[in-house]
Amino acid sequence: MRLTFLAALCLPLAAQDDGSAFDPETLFESDQPAIFMEDIDEVTVPLTVRGPKGVYIHDMAQSDFTLYDNGKEQKITSLDLSFLPISMTICVQTSDRVEGILGDIRKTAYLFTELVLGEHGEAAVLTFDSKVKLLQDFTDDTKKIEKALKTMRIGPSAVALADATYSAIRMLLKRPQNHRKIIVVISESQNNGSRIGLGESLRTAQLYDIMIYPVRLSTLSARLRRKPEQRRDPIPPGVIVRPTMPGAAATPTTLMQSRFSITPNVIPIVIDLVRGVKNLVFNNPLEVLADGTGGIDFSPRTSSGVEESIIKIGEDIRSQYRLTYSPDNLNEKGIYHRIEVKTPYDRLKVRHRVGYFHGPNPMLDGEPVEPLATRAEQ
């Protein structure tokens, strides 16, 4: 998407290769916030097409697609398979909640360098818990990328997901314009301790055509595999303690039920996040980030599942088309534009980002763009 803006989001990064934390004041605050203008020449829509058995389709023609922007059909100006170089930011949660499966993540280092980035790709590595840390700035040196992933350290229990995503976006904005910009987030599906709202991260990613691929970690799996701590028994020898009441202790089943939830229809949640609707509640922020940017939310349940997810991310990236169009229904009022791409072939499934925000001013989290009573239902 090409557009005109008065002030950029690319503030200087405070972290270096030594893994020092970002300075939170320079990370999220600026005397010159981004003011986006309404001049949009072209919108780019990365998309994939899959057959009945999930096989990627690579021989689609431009005439096979029909595109709608807020319900109005648009003229597609180009369609091609995307072979552009990749700039990728790898964000890994390192809070002590996932200590038991961090070893599985370290083993994926060679998969990123060999199967995802490609010959001309580059990557940076961030970790996050209560703070966001830069372990490796952008490089095409596979040894540096693998070293950064293998030397991750455990931190506090917080999961600053929105902060990490926003940090990754800011880094990607400084990469060459002809690069495909991608974020891989390996984390639990929760966000606590962040200074920035998840909606701001999602809006900015949509605006700059940045795709987000989450790999969801299971807290239950991490805890079951975590090495038990050696603690001194507080009960003196020979003292008999009565058992606790039935149902007082959490079981693996109850933990599993409290951990996993399903979002019935995530599209309205994505749109409301971008609009900044107040009191928005959702259970799966990783699914929202994926669906809002055209990525895939992976949920591995086994130790090998993390590696399989990275392999599938690489396959998905290599199977993308890039569709472009010049919208003819823009106006001066800031609104959310919903994108819908259709194909006449019923057995094919098309996946793409759901839309983008267009308007003269950025939105603040928790402030609706227009009165809720007058908003058209998307």
Which residues, 6+ apart, have CB-to-CB distance to 161 below 8 Å? 93, 128, 185, 187, 190, 191, 194, 198, 285, 286
Predicted local distance difference test score (pLDDT) of residue 261: 40
Its pTM stands at: 0.76
C-alpha–C-alpha distance, residues 224 and 378, integer Å:
42
In the beta sheet, which residues pair with residue 213?
184
Predicted local distance difference test score (pLDDT) of residue 360: 53
Predicted local distance difference test score (pLDDT) of residue 376: 35
Q: Consecutive 10-residue runs of the chain (378 residues): their mean pLDDT?
A: 46 44 46 44 90 92 95 94 87 90 83 82 93 93 90 89 94 90 93 87 88 85 49 54 48 40 63 65 83 91 82 91 91 79 94 81 42 33
How is residue 302 written in tokens? 């086994």
Predicted local distance difference test score (pLDDT) of residue 166: 94
Of the CA atoms within 13 Å of residue 206, those in its CB half-sphere come to: 28
Predicted local distance difference test score (pLDDT) of residue 352: 93
C-alpha–C-alpha distance, residues 343 and 25, integer Å:
47
Which residues, 6+ apart, have CB-to-CB distance to 317 below 8 Å? 86, 116, 180, 182
Predicted local distance difference test score (pLDDT) of residue 127: 95
C-alpha–C-alpha distance, residues 173 and 205, integer Å:
10
Q: List domains and CATH numbers for the chain.
A: 2-225+255-372 (3.40.50.410)
